[in-house]
Amino acid sequence: MLNKIDEVAKKINSGKALLLAGSETALSQLPKGNWIGGTTSYFIDADGGTFSDSSIFVNELPEFAKDFKVSEYTTQTLPSIGAEAPEKGFTVLILPAGSAVHTAYAEGAPRYEGFVIKPVVGWVSGVPLPEVGRTEPKVFNGKTGESSSSHAVAMHVALPPDKIADIEIVNVFKPGHGDKITFPVSGFVQEQCSVNGKPMNFAHYLSSVGADLRLPLTANYNGSVINVSIQATEEATGLVRLYAPVFAGVEYTFAEPVNDYVAAFESALPENRKDASFACNCILNYLYANLGGHSAGSVPSMVTFGEIAHQLLNQTLVRLLIHDV
């Protein structure tokens, strides 16, 4: 939920363990304590989508999650995140958008020790859209009070024996029935692709078919749909920049158009809407669905520049659920 800075400071001073999202100005004013944070100024609260530089979105760890540890990671140490995670619990990870750790996690996570077995949930921090390219997204380590635009920050949370963590995604997109696209190499920047088995330049392909770049590429992971959103195409160089990496060996199709995002979120949410311990939604959903002032599936969340549900996702609502065993 959105809180004023002084309200968050009180929670920190009371010793609560918190996951915080807010502007750099807001997060910089907080006292040291048991928290990690990442920059964003976009949120979905009870009243709907909103922009604020002075409020902070607060996720409190549940009362039973008393055993936690804050760690920072570089590109060199990030692959050990699973090894450092508790045997039973979950990890919340925040990556600054556009940083080397962002790229490293997005491309490497499926090969890290403990991938999926030890749940990692989290988000990519960002900046107000007019400041993209001029201001660096940050992550905050509340234990030290320091921020970074190059390190990742994580909170490893152990759970008692009668609790278990599970990550759920809510994706309003469905794979379309158009061309089947594959890529010879994995990564955020793509030049070549195969379309229905025929090699071609990806940027030229997108231009030739007049692709709606608001729609993500989708991949079917045994029934779960994973999105990869397109950031920009460069006709001159023939390069296409993506908000998450595509993976060689995975087949992609463009998503079907979504006419009513809010209705689509409502219908995509499971019937048993257990309150999530943590949730984040994508800035592209916020923008393309025009969520400013509108609710989205009744799920309060921070609005982020990439979502982590084990691996990096795009245009997806991610929820952490903690079940009784």
Partner 1 sequence: MVPSVTHPALRELIVGTKEITTAKFGFNLLLTNNRIQYKKNPSETTVKQLAEQTHEFLTRYESLYQSELKQIFSGDYRA
* Cβ neighbours of 312 (radius 10 Å): 26
Residue 320 C-beta: closest distance to partner 1, Å: 11
C-alpha to C-alpha distance for 54 and 140, rounded to whole angstroms: 16
Cα-trace Rg, the chain: 19
Q: Is 83 in contact with 163 (CB distance < 8 Å)?
A: no
Nearer to partner 1, 135 or 220 (CB): 220
Nearer to partner 1, 78 or 167 (CB): 167
Residue type, position 62, single letter: P
Residue 175 C-beta: closest distance to partner 1, Å: 14
Nearer to partner 1, 22 or 119 (CB): 119
C-alpha to C-alpha distance for 83 and 292, rounded to whole angstroms: 40
Q: Is 134 in contact with 103 (CB distance < 8 Å)?
A: no
Residue 45 C-beta: closest distance to partner 1, Å: 25
Nearer to partner 1, 30 or 106 (CB): 106
What SS3 class is residue 38? strand
Interaction site with partner 1 (CB under 8 A): 88, 110, 115-117, 119, 164, 166-169, 221-224, 226, 247, 249-250, 309-311, 323, 325
Residue 117 C-beta: closest distance to partner 1, Å: 5
Q: Which of 305, 295, 310 is nearest to 226 (CA)?
A: 310
What SS3 class is residue 142? coil
- Give the DSSP H or E segment for 39: strand 35-39
Residue 20 C-beta: closest distance to partner 1, Å: 25
Report, in this order, helix, strand and coil percent for the chain, each rounded to 5.
Answer: 20, 40, 40
Q: Is 7 in contact with 1 (CB distance < 8 Å)?
A: no
Nearer to partner 1, 132 or 248 (CB): 248
Both structure tokens of 94? 């925040």
Nearer to partner 1, 138 or 156 (CB): 156
Residue 82 C-beta: closest distance to partner 1, Å: 11
Nearer to partner 1, 247 or 254 (CB): 247
Residue 187 C-beta: closest distance to partner 1, Å: 15
CA distances from 291 to 4, 169, 298, 308 (A): 22, 19, 12, 21
158 Cβ neighbours under 8 A, 6+ residues apart? 65, 67, 68, 86, 87, 88, 89
Nearer to partner 1, 250 or 287 (CB): 250
Residue 115 C-beta: closest distance to partner 1, Å: 7
C-alpha to C-alpha distance for 52 and 42, rounded to whole angstroms: 7
Residue 157 C-beta: closest distance to partner 1, Å: 16
Nearer to partner 1, 26 or 280 (CB): 280
Q: Is 121 in contact with 134 (CB distance < 8 Å)?
A: no
